[in-house]
């Protein structure tokens, strides 16, 4: 399958990028995604991560903040700027066009973020080493709050400096600032990334994507256990163990993945691959398996995912992940490199759950466990809307019981009927109910 690459850049640079991408388009499918500001680029990465095999971002600063996101970005990310040679090439071309340039009157946009550090080209030429260290120093200095307003601060400083006659021309690396200067009629020169190097970086990204695909065949061990009570003794055949194995097989069927299930002391081990783990956890962000098992079995289950270059290392990593899952209350992954990743499977979704669950239980007449199972079923479906049949299948209860649960929620203002869905077979249309997936939080302040 052809790799799918996303190139995130300012709208100002889109046309330039389209022109220079032709040499690599035969190796991959590459889409240009425009972002108005670097802060907006962070949200675009998170939104588009499942769709692409790799990302190339215009800014080294943006790449740094992507690496620091709370939800880990597991796809390879490369950046295009941060190379001072592009600046010097631009300076040379400017001088070639006008030998009478006053370098003390030409400023760079990157130094206007902090006005006391604003420097002209003559200042830069006096201390080139300091200028070359900027790409390293700035990412370490700028925090998320500064990133949110960075382009606006540079734009405001540039307009003020221009009004006061401090510069006659601005050298821009930031596409937002360049567009703002164009709109304001302020003279500027844009530092374009070298076309040959853009292709070189994209080729390196493609090579990295291929390596990641090879690593997707690494074995994975998924250890499943309960913090409340053992899931069964090794080799025991009981009604509960049959339910658990049936639930695991049905989960594999729903996700179109193959599982090999083996009983272990106090739990179960599922053998699979890194590709499957990435698929069922949404790139190590959300433990769908935990949601599914809780909705079906009603048990608070912990899961440790281990990935390794061989099955023994995968199992060792799974044991380590289980220990972290037990102490942190979330499902965890230990990757083939030994990195521990905690997924959003418990702490965020069930924060304040005891008070909220009691509140909803009192209002609806349902048990706390049933409320929790309904919420997990909604998370697993990935939607706030479901039918009685959907809920019955997820909770593995009768349609009559599922209908009673939903009617109780509707009667107490915790759900609403939003549509009707026609059945293929003859009979009444099925009602579609909408329930908030943040049910506990939504009802926490209720009577």
For residues 113 and 96, is the Cβ–Cβ distance under 8 A?
no
Calculate what percentage of the chain has a pLDDT beyond 90. 25
What CA dihedral angle connects 327, 330, 335 and 337, to 10 degrees? -50
Token reading at 111: 């130094």
pLDDT tens track for 78-93: 988 756 777 778 888 8
What 8-state DSSP symbol labels residue 346?
A: S
pLDDT tens track for 242-284: 888 888 888 888 777 877 888 887 788 999 999 899 888 888 8
Domains by residue range for the chain, with CATH: 4-80+195-214 (3.40.50.2300), 84-190 (no CATH), 216-342 (3.30.70.270), 353-442 (1.10.10.10)
Q: For the purposes of burial, counting CB atoms within 10 Å of the CB of 352, is it exposed (0-12), middle (13-18) or buried (19 or more)?
A: exposed
For residue 59, pLDDT over 60 is answered with yes
pLDDT tens track for 380-430: 677 788 888 888 877 777 788 788 888 888 887 888 888 887 765 556 778
- Global pTM value: 0.59
The candidate with the shortest Cα–Cα distance to 292, out of 283, 280, 277, is: 280
Give pLDDT, residue 12: 92
Q: For the purposes of burial, counting CB atoms within 10 Å of the CB of 371, is it exposed (0-12), middle (13-18) or buried (19 or more)?
A: buried
- Residues with Cβ within 8 Å of residue 340, at least 6 apart in sequence: 320, 321, 324, 332, 333, 334
Give pLDDT, residue 346: 41
Query: Which residue is associated with the tokens 């293929």?
Result: 424
Give pLDDT, residue 249: 86
Query: Which residue is associated with the tokens 């994507």?
Result: 209
For residues 5 and 54, is the Cβ–Cβ distance under 8 A?
yes
> 222 pLDDT band (50/70/90 cuts)?
very high
Q: Give the pairing of strands 188-190 and 169-172.
A: parallel
Between CA 363 and CA 366 the distance in angstroms is 8
């Amino acid at each position: 399958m052809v790799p799918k690459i996303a190139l995130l850049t300012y709208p100002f640079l889109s046309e330039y990028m389209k022109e220079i991408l032709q040499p690599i388009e035969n190796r991959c499918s590459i889409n240009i995604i425009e972002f108005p500001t670097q802060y907006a680029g962070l949200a675009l990465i998170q939104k588009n991560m499942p769709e692409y095999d790799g990302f190339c971002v215009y800014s080294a600063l943006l790449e740094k903040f992507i690496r620091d996101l709370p939800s880990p970005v597991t796809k390879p990310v490369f950046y295009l700027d941060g190379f001072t040679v592009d600046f010097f090439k631009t300076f040379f071309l400017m001088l070639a066009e006008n030998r009478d340039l006053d370098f003390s009157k030409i400023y760079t946009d990157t130094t206007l973020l902090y006005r006391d550090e604003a420097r002209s080209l003559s200042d830069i030429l006096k201390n080139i080493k300091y200028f070359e260290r900027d790409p390293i120093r700035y990412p370490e200095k700028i925090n998320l709050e500064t990133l949110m307003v960075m382009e606006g601060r540079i734009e405001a400083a540039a307009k003020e400096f221009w009004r006061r006659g401090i510069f006659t021309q601005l050298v821009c690396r930031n596409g937002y600032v360049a567009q703002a200067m164009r709109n304001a009629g302020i003279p500027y020169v844009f530092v374009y990334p070298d076309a040959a190097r853009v292709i070189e970086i994209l080729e390196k990204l493609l090579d990295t994507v291929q390596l990641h695909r090879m690593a997707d065949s690494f074995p994975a061990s998924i250890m499943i256990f309960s913090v409340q009570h053992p899931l069964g003794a090794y080799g025991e055949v009981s009604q509960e163990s049959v339910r658990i194995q049936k639930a695991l097989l049905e989960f594999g069927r729903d996700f179109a993945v193959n599982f090999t299930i083996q009983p272990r002391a106090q739990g179960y081990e599922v053998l699979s691959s890194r590709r499957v783990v990435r698929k069922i956890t949404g790139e190590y962000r959300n433990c769908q398996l935990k949601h599914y098992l809780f909705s079906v079995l009603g048990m608070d289950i912990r899961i440790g995912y281990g990935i390794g270059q061989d099955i023994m290392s995968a199992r060792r990593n799974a044991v380590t992940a289980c220990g972290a899952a037990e102490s942190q209350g979330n499902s965890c992954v230990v990757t083939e490199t030994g990195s521990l990743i905690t997924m959003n499977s418990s702490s965020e979704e069930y924060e304040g759950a005891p008070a909220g669950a009691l509140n909803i239980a009192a209002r609806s007449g349902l048990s706390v466990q049933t409320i929790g199972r309904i919420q997990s079923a909604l998370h697993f479906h990935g939607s706030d809307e479901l039918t009685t049949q959907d809920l019955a299948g997820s909770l593995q209860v009768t349609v009559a019981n599922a209908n009673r649960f939903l009617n109780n929620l509707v009667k107490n203002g915790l759900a609403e009927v939003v549509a009707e869905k026609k059945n293929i077979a003859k009979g009444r249309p099925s009602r579609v109910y909408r329930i908030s997936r943040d049910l506990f939080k939504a009802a926490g302040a209720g009577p």
